[in-house]
Amino acid sequence: MCCYRFKEDNEIWTLGSITLYTAPNDGRILELTVDFDDHGLSESLYRQFRENSLCALFAFYPELDEEQAAQLFDRMYVATDDIITTTDYKDGAIPTEFYYQQGGAGVYPYFAYGEFIHICIAPAA
C-alpha cells in the first residue's frame, strides 16, 4: 500500500492531515483519512478538521447536502469518544461504527489511546 500525507505545515505536529492510501500497482484509492490531534484541543484546529472532513465527505458523497454531511461528521466524531481502542490505526483497522451507501463509500471513525482521531472513507466494491 502507498501512503500520501497532506498537511498544511509539516513542522507543526498538532496540525491535522489528510492521508490517501492507494494500491501499489494501479493507484486505486483504498482509503482516505482525515486526521486530528485532539489532545491539545483548540477551536481553530477542530474547525479545520471539520472542514477537511466535510470536503472529503462531499468528494465521496456528492449527493449529500450540507446538513446531511454535518450530521454524518458529527455522528462519526461522537463515536470516537464512545469506542476507543488500544490498537494504533493501520491497514486492516477494524471500524467501530460504519456508515455505508450502496455503490458509494464506507465511512467510519477510528481512535486509539495516544493517537490522532481518524475519519476514514473507503470506496465500497
Q: What are 36-79's pLDDT values in tens digits?
A: 887 767 888 899 999 999 999 998 888 899 999 999 999 888 88
pLDDT score of 125: 61
- Report whether pLDDT(94) > 70: no
Per DSSP, the three-state class of 31 is: strand
Count: domains in the chain: 1
Domain that holds residue 52: 2-123
Bridge partners of residue 34, in order along the sequence? 18, 119
| Cell reading at 22 | 492507494
Q: What are 99-123's pLDDT values in tens digits?
A: 766 567 888 888 877 788 888 888 7
pLDDT score of 10: 86
pTM: 0.83
